[in-house]
Amino acid sequence: MAPPQQAQPKTTKKDHIRLNNPFPRSLPSASLRHRDAAPPLSFSPASKLAHDAHDFPVGPHFRLRWDPSLGGMVSLARVASLSGDAPSRGGAMWETVPGVAFVSAASVDTEADECRGSFALRDGRARLVPHSQRVDRIRALYRCDVEAGAGKGASADLLRGAAFEASERTRFPVVVITGVVSARKASPSPSCFCGRRRAGRRDGGGRPVLSARYWIVLEEKSDTQVAFSVKLGDYQWSCDHHANPSRPPPASPSPSSPSPTPRTHLASSSLRLRLAARSRKKKKLPSGVSAREDLAPLLPPERKPEEEFNRVFVTFASARDERFYGFGEQFSRMEFKGKRVPVLVQEQGIGRGDQPITFAANLVSYRSGGNWSTTYAPSPFYITSKMRSLYLEGYDYSIFDLTKPDRVQIQVYGSSVQGRILHGDSPTELITSYTESTGRPPVLPRWITSGAVVGMQGGTDAVRRVWKQLQDYDVPVSAFWLQDWVGQRKTSIGSQLWWNWEVDDDHYTGWKDLIRDLRRRGVRTMTYCNPCLVPMDQKANTKRHLFEEAKKLGILVRDAAGEPYMMPNTAFDVAMLDFTNPAAHAWFKEILAGMARYGAAGWMADFGEGLPLDARLHSGEDPVAAHNRYPELWARVNREFADEWRSGMHRRAREADDDEGLVFFVRAGFRESSRWAMLFWEGDQMVSWQANDGIKSSVVGLLSGGLSGFPLNHSDAGGYCTVDLPLLRYRRSEELLLRWMELSAFTVVFRTHEGNKPVSNCQFYSNSRTLVHFARCAKIYKAWEFYRIQLVEEAAAKGLPVARHLFLHYPEDQRVQKMTYQQFLVGTEMLVVPVLDKGRSMVTAYFPMSDGSSWKHIWTGDEFGGHRNRGGAGEGMLHGFEAEVGARVGFPAVFVRVGSPIGERFVNNLRDLKVL
């Protein structure tokens, strides 16, 4: 039986408040202390598990080891197979903390704040806190056990309880661990009968305890992955005076007994307890206390929230010096030891801790400033410096607690857990394994990476004027991206778009002629869309009212009253398409088909992070889990259409050289977004030098996403968010734009953006200096096109990113482990040290030496690292060499590996393009 749907959190809407607390809690608070969520581990002294360590095979390549010493622990490791595999790197892939529960559960109220795409889920009142975990049995099950599973016996009961279903592809044996977890009332109950002395006087009361049997299944999925699942069932009440962890709670089913569903078992328990209450009626009780009150904590006459667990904790060991990377696209940190990392899709925020902008953003819109952990594209995945890696499956909200130096604790807002433990001897092996199951992007059409993508607004005449300038300066251009193709609307915050996905013929007069003229010169046209719609009664030249169409078809997300859920977004309200409804998929593909027939070769597929936590969906699924899944659904609609268009399923006048296909890029994502998304961009950074939400954060997002299975990513060159108020100004300076263009020249796509207030920002077309620099950066980008093609193919084949944190290839270098935005690799053959601070013309470059490589500066030919430069600034360093390098505007600090054919070709191309 499927577990019941989780109760929806108590959600507080704060869209209407004019002034807010500018200092909201930066992270979701926890009502459970760490030690509450990791209670002691126990096992029966009479069982076989109490005496000796035991090994249990998990498939042909892995082994689970149980060690009863120091209170008991389990560990998982890979072993060499009979086929002669090379021995794996030493150490366990996964292990628990000795004597500490590795599975625990609780019942906690959930609270949520929601405001314009910003969310906070947190624990409210704790009803039941973790009490104990007991291990009863560990058993390896073989195919013969499954084939006999329809019969009776211990194996059949284990299989039924774990809800394990084998297939022809199952790699036996699988291992099942079973036992009991319990949680007790958060505060003593004076009415608990077991909390009284025999004389009949109260002694302060005991605590009712809810226990449940758990089943953990470990199954080899591939040569590098072990799937794990945690399932709870057989709920029953007792009292903590009777809940001895070394033995089952009263009336607990034995491991070999059938496993009734939780509701049936609770009902039978209730009946037995009521009978017991009747049998005690003649017993003299303290004055004023009835038998019913005496057993009230044990009697569940009707369903209550605390009668099932809605939190599951998985706790395991970590080394004190272990560093953690991943968790999706993060913008403030590369390494997370010591932090609590929430995994919830949402707006990244404006400022994210940089001041004073975060203060101001929070003041005018609750939580819109964000914090170090808010991101469009998180993922419940990590990789560590000890080559350990794990990810969660499913979409429940989760928090990875890394605040204790010796352990990791994952809190899942749900009643079950599924995930996978990965094996690899290097970060590249782990990412390859991870993306093999979560998905990788396709090979991009080459046109998108052949030159600059020019972000423009303003209508036909503005585009033609800028296109003429770019021709005059000989800029390699692959496409014009025109986000205002739908027309502009004036609102209280400036010019915004009409969210009705059709061309505005008044704003872009001669649209088809413009597209045709650009296409004849090898330049594509890209547009914009998102999964939201607005009423169009105020726009005179509207041809189709998409909001009304979708409303009539019933394919919009609904509110509690069954009406379209109208969500505040900046200065107007929007409705969101319900992509859990197949009809919404089909309808929106036709919208995309119309966009492509009008000449769009690609588009920004914006948003995807704002599904309300109290929405009503066509599928009936939990909206909190659907909130994390929605970005994948959104990307899937776009990808399916792009694939169908390329395959010729949509009739169109096809040009002879149009076989490469369409391209779209997204900002919101989750674990499996790369299976559907063709390309990412990092969303809306501030036009600033700041660390949490400026140019530096764009590098962190690029590299953290690359370590998390998002290999093709880029940012808006120059940033996006502009604030131009009398007392608060963030306007793009010329220097910031020039440096951001240098940075973008070394990402997979080089795309500009005018920002949300174009007239307040310096633009690439502002003057001759900016145009010359833009042309120079576009040619630098063009010079390594041949290598970019290889790296895009590698991303599609192995999931490895184009722009790479040095940890991917130098994981044991402690200096590398501490790096954030300072420098990065392009593939393995190029090293980039960008200028990310105002007024700087020198950078500090670090050259790893563990592989004996030397690096050559592309502008001067100077060589660094290897056996050269000894005795300089890097003498005595364990793994590398450090040097100060000049990086004046137009000459970013870029190095190629000495002796690399890739590097030599890059330098030669720079000469041919007259850049060097």
Catalytic residue among 111, 354, 502, 609: 609
Q: What is the mean pLDDT of the segment spanning 363-367? A: 92
From CA 716, how far away is CA 696, in angstroms rounded? 13
Residue with tokens 């993922």: 379
Closest CA to 106 of 162, 4, 37: 37
Higher-pLDDT residue of 881 and 288 is 881
In a domain, 39, yes or no: yes
Please determine, for residue 656, whether its predicted confidence score (pLDDT) is greater than 50: no
From CA 900, how far away is CA 884, in angstroms rounded? 23
- How confident is the model at residue 777, as a pLDDT? 98
Report yes or no: 821 and 699 within 8 Å, Cβ to Cβ.
Answer: yes
What's at 832, amino acid-wise?
V
- How confident is the model at residue 267, as a pLDDT? 35
- How confident is the model at residue 231, as a pLDDT? 97
Catalytic residue among 136, 354, 682, 684: 684
From CA 714, how far away is CA 902, in angstroms rounded? 22
698: β partners? none
pLDDT band of residue 23 (cuts 50, 70, 90) is confident
Report yes or no: 688 and 760 within 8 Å, Cβ to Cβ.
Answer: no
Please determine, for residue 646, whether its predicted confidence score (pLDDT) is greater than 50: yes
Write the CATH number for 583: 3.20.20.80
- How confident is the model at residue 225, as a pLDDT? 98
Query: What is the phi/psi pair of residue 611, to 5°?
Result: -60, 125
DSSP label at residue 7: P
Please determine, for residue 11, whether its predicted confidence score (pLDDT) is greater than 90: no
pLDDT tens digit sequence for 787-813: 999 999 999 999 999 999 999 999 999
Active site residue 505: no
Q: What is the mean pLDDT of the segment spanning 753-757? A: 95
Highest mean pLDDT among 27-36, 154-163, 520-529: 520-529
pLDDT band of residue 291 (cuts 50, 70, 90) is very low
- How confident is the model at residue 876, as a pLDDT? 39
Q: What is the mean pLDDT of the segment spanning 161-180? A: 93
Please determine, for residue 908, whether its predicted confidence score (pLDDT) is greater than 90: yes
pLDDT tens digit sequence for 813-835: 999 999 999 999 999 999 999 99
- How confident is the model at residue 272, as a pLDDT? 35
Please determine, for residue 841, whether its predicted confidence score (pLDDT) is greater than 70: yes
In a domain, 459, yes or no: yes
DSSP label at residue 762: -
- DSSP of 144-211: HHHHTTTS-SHHHHHHHHHT----TT-EEEEEEEEEEEEEEESS-BTT-GGGB-TTS-B-S-B-EEEE
Higher-pLDDT residue of 397 and 866 is 397
Report yes or no: 670 and 632 within 8 Å, Cβ to Cβ.
Answer: yes
| Buried residues in 379-417 as b, exposed as e (16+ CB within 10 A) | bbbbbbbbbbbbbbbbbbbbbbbbebeebbbbbbbbbbb
Q: What is the mean pLDDT of the segment spanning 362-383? A: 96
Q: What is the mean pLDDT of the segment spanning 721-737? A: 96
Please determine, for residue 695, whether its predicted confidence score (pLDDT) is greater than 80: yes
Q: What is the mean pLDDT of the segment spanning 151-162? A: 77
- How confident is the model at residue 240, as a pLDDT? 72
pLDDT tens digit sequence for 96-126: 999 999 999 999 999 998 998 999 998 888 9
Active site residue 684: yes
Q: What is the mean pLDDT of the segment spanning 879-886? A: 92
Of 36-50, 378-392, 687-701, 801-815, the least confident: 36-50
- How confident is the model at residue 14, as a pLDDT? 82
- How confident is the model at residue 124, as a pLDDT? 87
The share of the chain scoring above pLDDT 70, in percent, equals 85
Of 191-205, 702-716, 722-736, 833-847, the least confident: 191-205
Please determine, for residue 530, whether its predicted confidence score (pLDDT) is greater than 90: yes
Whether residue 442 is preceded by a cis peptide bond, meaning omega within 30 degrees of 0, is no
Q: Which residues contact 194 (CB under 8 A, 6 or more apart)?
A: 206, 239, 240, 241, 242
Total residues belonging to the chain: 916
In a domain, 237, yes or no: yes
The angle that helices 768-783 and 460-472 make with each other, rounded to 10 degrees, is 70
Higher-pLDDT residue of 165 and 402 is 402
Report yes or no: 350 and 692 within 8 Å, Cβ to Cβ.
Answer: no
Q: Residue 7 CA to chain centroid, in angstroms?
A: 23
- How confident is the model at residue 491, as a pLDDT? 77
Domain boundary among 254, 285, 317: 317
pLDDT tens digit sequence for 565-592: 999 987 889 999 999 999 999 999 999 9
Please determine, for residue 372, whether its predicted confidence score (pLDDT) is greater than 60: yes
Query: What is the phi/psi pair of residue 312, to 5°?
Result: -125, 135
Higher-pLDDT residue of 293 and 239 is 239
pLDDT band of residue 26 (cuts 50, 70, 90) is low
Q: In this structure, what token pair is assigned to residue 296?
A: 């009230």
Please determine, for residue 848, whether its predicted confidence score (pLDDT) is greater than 90: yes
Let me know whether 455 and 311 are in one domain: no
Please determine, for residue 265, whether its predicted confidence score (pLDDT) is greater than 70: no
Q: End-to-end distance of the chain based on CA atoms, in angstroms?
A: 68
Higher-pLDDT residue of 206 and 891 is 891
In a domain, 729, yes or no: no
| DSSP-based three-state secondary structure for 775 | helix
Q: What is the mean pLDDT of the segment spanning 705-718? A: 98
In a domain, 620, yes or no: yes
Active site residue 609: yes
Strands 398-401 and 407-412: what pairing? antiparallel
Q: What is the mean pLDDT of the segment spanning 207-228? A: 96
Domain boundary among 261, 284, 317: 317
In a domain, 650, yes or no: yes
- How confident is the model at residue 187, as a pLDDT? 78
Q: What is the mean pLDDT of the segment spanning 523-528? A: 98
Q: What is the mean pLDDT of the segment spanning 677-697? A: 98
Report the 3 state secondary structure along 335-398: CCCCCEEEECECCCCCCCCCCCHHHHHHHHCCCCCCCCCCECCEEEEEEECCCCEEEECCCCCE
pLDDT band of residue 10 (cuts 50, 70, 90) is confident
- How confident is the model at residue 652, as a pLDDT? 52
Q: How far is CA 641 from CA 295, 372, 592, in A?
A: 60, 35, 7
The domain tally of the chain equals 2
Please determine, for residue 894, whether its predicted confidence score (pLDDT) is greater than 50: yes
pLDDT band of residue 279 (cuts 50, 70, 90) is very low
Domain boundary among 317, 351, 368: 317
Within 13 Å of residue 645, how many CA atoms lie on the same side as its CB?
29
Enclosing H/E stretch for 143 = helix 143-147
- How confident is the model at residue 658, as a pLDDT? 55
Q: What is the mean pLDDT of the segment spanning 470-491? A: 96
- How confident is the model at residue 34, as a pLDDT? 66
Q: What is the mean pLDDT of the segment spanning 422-435? A: 98
- How confident is the model at residue 810, as a pLDDT? 97
Report yes or no: 49 and 55 within 8 Å, Cβ to Cβ.
Answer: no
In a domain, 50, yes or no: yes
Of 7-16, 216-225, 439-448, 670-679, the least confident: 7-16
pLDDT band of residue 447 (cuts 50, 70, 90) is very high
From CA 248, how far away is CA 180, in angstroms rounded? 8
Q: What is the mean pLDDT of the segment spanning 162-183? A: 94
pLDDT band of residue 207 (cuts 50, 70, 90) is confident
Catalytic residue among 36, 113, 606, 813: 606
- How confident is the model at residue 571, as a pLDDT? 80
| DSSP-based three-state secondary structure for 498 | coil
Report yes or no: 62 and 79 within 8 Å, Cβ to Cβ.
Answer: yes
Please determine, for residue 295, whether its predicted confidence score (pLDDT) is greater than 80: no
Report yes or no: 24 and 367 within 8 Å, Cβ to Cβ.
Answer: yes
Q: In this structure, what token pair is assigned to residue 900?
A: 């690399």
SS3 content of the chain, % helix, strand, coil (to 5): 25, 30, 45
Higher-pLDDT residue of 233 and 194 is 233
pLDDT tens digit sequence for 855-874: 999 999 999 986 554 434 44
- How confident is the model at residue 288, as a pLDDT? 36
Of 148-152, 404-408, 799-803, the least confident: 148-152
* Domain residue limits at 53: 27-81+89-189+206-243+306-317
Report yes or no: 59 and 220 within 8 Å, Cβ to Cβ.
Answer: yes
In a domain, 381, yes or no: no
- How confident is the model at residue 150, as a pLDDT? 56
| Buried residues in 864-883 as b, exposed as e (16+ CB within 10 A) | bbbeebeeeebeebebbbbb
Q: What is the mean pLDDT of the segment spanning 218-222? A: 98
